[in-house]
Amino acid sequence: MKNLKNKPKFSWNMFLVVLLATEFLIFGSKNPKFLRPALLFNSVNDYIAICMVSLFVTFVMITGGIDIQVPSIIGLTSITIGVLWQDFGMSPGVAVIFAILLAALCGALSGFFIAYCRVQAMVVTLGGSFLYAGLALLISTLSSTESYQGISGFPDSFKWIAKYKVFGVVPFQIVIYLGMIVIAYLLLHKTKYGRSIFLVGVNANAAEYSGINSRLVKMSTYILSAVSAAIAGVVLTAYLGTAKSDLGSGLTMNIITAVVLGGTLSTGGKGSVIGTALAALIIGLLRFGMPLCFKVNTQYLDIPIGVLLIVVVVGRAVASNPAVTAKLSRLRHEKKKAVSSK
């Protein structure tokens, strides 16, 4: 049983690793600059938000929901930190804590409507994406700085988050990201809470009958994804040195692509943290490598990522088509027969 369950996941992750290696090979051979560690590590800042947020959106999608409000929470966090620091005189550390709490509250609100009022996740997070982006804009009007300029001039102690390099090479953001991967992995794959997330995704009623508070579990996943978005917002603000209310805009497709490419079923019940982490890295390197090696304008990057998303979902739909699976298993069976008859 264990073998059966682990086998397909393993092969999908292997496929992702191969895809990642291919990316390195193609981009590296096209332009050797791509492989320079300093440049590679520096590029992380362009897609660290996708990586961080997709880890926890995986949780949401395993329960069968979806979260498209995370990009606006990134912007909300950023502008909250800026305004609290500049116009309310808080130290950046306290401002960060407040911003993360605010994000958790936003996630809890959406999660509450989804889990306890049984509204579709898609609609609530759609409303949430308007609401929190609007909130971010309103908060930015509290500031003395014009909202389109963004608030800058943070002290070095705050920018340190994105400027410090472990051993002089590895940016601190990567350490934060690795920490988040470990936490997400342990939480999802090694704890009772993680098992209940899967069970809620497979069958919420059965989970409820087996004593799991399925509503609380659902709500908690939205809080987690909002908090991860807040952390991404902090890191981005520290890196750019500017707090803006629209930092995360346009990331929705990238995040969903990372989660789906990582092997999470959008209908719920299946998914893995490692898969998402690998997939997010694939997307990130694509976003970094295409402009560097093929002179693709960054604004065209939606095409390869959209194609990737569609190819993956259609490919998986074809593979899970009963007619195709029957044929595949027949082939495998015949092969086995041939081997055993020998």
Partner 1 sequence: MSNLKKVLRAREVTSFLFLAALFVIVGLINPKFFSVSSISACFNSSVVYTLVAVGMAFAIFVGEIDVSVGSTLGFVATVVGSLLRDGANWIFAFTMGLIIGAIVGLINGWGVAVMKVPSLIFTLGTNGILRGMMYIYAGGAWVENLPKDFKDFSSVTMIGQFTVYYCCAVLLVVSIHLLLTRTRRGRYFIAVGDNASGATLVGIPATRTKVTAYVICGLMSALAGIIFCSRIGFVTSTSGSGYDMKAVAACVLGGISLTGGVGTVIGAAIGAVIMASISYLLVFMGFSSNYDNAITGVILITIVVADALMQHRTAEKNRRARLAARTSVAEEVKGGVRL
Positions in the binding site for partner 1 (CB under 8 A): 66, 113, 117-120, 122-124, 126-135, 137-138, 141, 147, 252-253, 256-257, 260, 266-267, 297, 299-303, 305-307, 309-310, 313-314, 317-318
Which CB sits closer to partner 1, 134 or 153? 134
Which CB sits closer to partner 1, 65 or 92? 65
**Distance from the Cα of residue 131 to its chain's centroid:** 21
CA–CA distance, 110 with 162 (Å, rounded to integer)? 30
Q: Which token pair is 10? A: 């393993």
Torsion angle, CA of 11/15/16/21, rounded to 10 degrees? 130
Which CB sits closer to partner 1, 115 or 273? 115
Which CB sits closer to partner 1, 234 or 255? 255
Which CB sits closer to partner 1, 66 or 161? 66
Whole-number CA gyration radius for the chain: 21
Q: Considering the complex, what minimum distance in angstroms separates the CB of residue 180 from partner 1?
A: 24
Q: Considering the complex, what minimum distance in angstroms separates the CB of residue 105 from partner 1?
A: 14
Q: Considering the complex, what minimum distance in angstroms separates the CB of residue 289 from partner 1?
A: 16
Which CB sits closer to partner 1, 292 or 313? 313
Contact present, 243 and 99 (Cβ < 8 Å): no
Q: Considering the complex, what minimum distance in angstroms separates the CB of residue 39 from partner 1?
A: 25
Q: Considering the complex, what minimum distance in angstroms separates the CB of residue 250 from partner 1?
A: 8
Q: Considering the complex, what minimum distance in angstroms separates the CB of residue 57 from partner 1?
A: 13
Q: Considering the complex, what minimum distance in angstroms separates the CB of residue 320 from partner 1?
A: 9
Which CB sits closer to partner 1, 299 or 341? 299
